[in-house]
Structure 1
Amino acid sequence: MDTEENAIEKAAAERREWLKTLKMAKVLLETPDDDTKKHDRNLEDAEETEEDEVPSMKFRNYLPHDKQLQEGKLTPVVLLKFEDPIVAAPLAPEKIEDPFLNIAPKKPNWDLRRDVQKKLDKLEKRTQKALYELAKEQEN
C-alpha cells in the first residue's frame, strides 16, 4: 500500500514539474526580444501612415452609383480574337467512291471455301496417304 502511494505522489510531483516548465516556456515566448520590439514599432508606424491615406477602390464588374467611386471604374479587358489554324486551312477534296464497291467481299469465294473446308481437309489426308502408298510401291 505504501509503494502505491509513493508511486502516485511521484507521478504527481513529475506532473507539477512538467507544468512549471510549460509555464516558464510560455512566459519566455511572450516576452518580446529587441528584434520583435523593432518589428512592432515598424508595424505601428505603417499603420499610422495607412490611416492617413484613403485606399483607392477599383471596380472591374461593378459600376457604383456614387460619382466619386465611379472614378475607380476600370475599363473592361479586351480579349484578342482567336483564329483557329485548322479552320483557316483549306480542306482537301474528298474522293467520292462508289458505295457498291465496298459491299463486295475482297475474295469472292470466301464463303465457298468456308463451307467446303472440311471436305478439302479429308481429301488432303487421303491424297497424302495415297502418295505415301505409291512411293512405297515404287521402292519395292
Structure 2
Amino acid sequence: MAAVGTLSDEALKRKERLKAMRDKHAAPQNDVDMQYETEKAELKERLPKPTFRSYKPGSEKLKDHSMDTIKPSDVTDIIKDQIDAGKTEHVVSEVDLNNLAPRKPDWDLKRDVSKKLEKLERRTQRAIAELIRERLKASQDDLAYVVMGEGVGREVDDDD
C-alpha cells in the first residue's frame, strides 16, 4: 500500500507543479495583455481625430467631429484698399533715357561682326589699290606721264 500512497502523493505533487507552471506562464500573458491594452489606449490618444469640413457624416459618433459651416467673409473693403493703392501716381524726377530706350534688335550682331568687318575693310582697300596698279600697267602709260598730264591740266586751269 505504501506504493499506492506514494503514487498518489507523486500525482498530487505533479498536479501542483503543473498548476504552478500554468500560473507562471499565464501571469506574463496577462501582463502582455495589459501592456497591449495600454499601448492601444495610448495609440488612440496619439492618433489625430478626423475633422469633417465639407462632409456631413451620417453616424452620430462622427457628427461630433464635423465642423460648423462657415460663411465667407466680406472682402470688398480689402479690394477697395488695393485698388486705391494702385491708383496713386508716382512722380519720378529723373529719367535715364538710356535705360528706358530698348536696344536695337541687332546690336549684338553688330558687336560680334565689327572685328571681322575691320579686317575686310583693310583687305578691300588693298584690293582696290592693286586693281588701280594693274590698270595702269595694262594701259602701258608711264606713271610719270599720267602724273604730268594731270599736272599740265592744273596749270592751264590756274592761268585762267
- TM-score category, normalised to shorter length: under 0.3
> More helix by proportion, 1 or 2?
2
Q: Which of structures 1 and 2 has the bigger CA Rg?
A: 2
TM-score, length of structure 2 as denominator length: 0.24
Which structure has the higher relative contact order (CA within 8 Å, separation 6+)? 1
TM-score, length of structure 1 as denominator length: 0.26
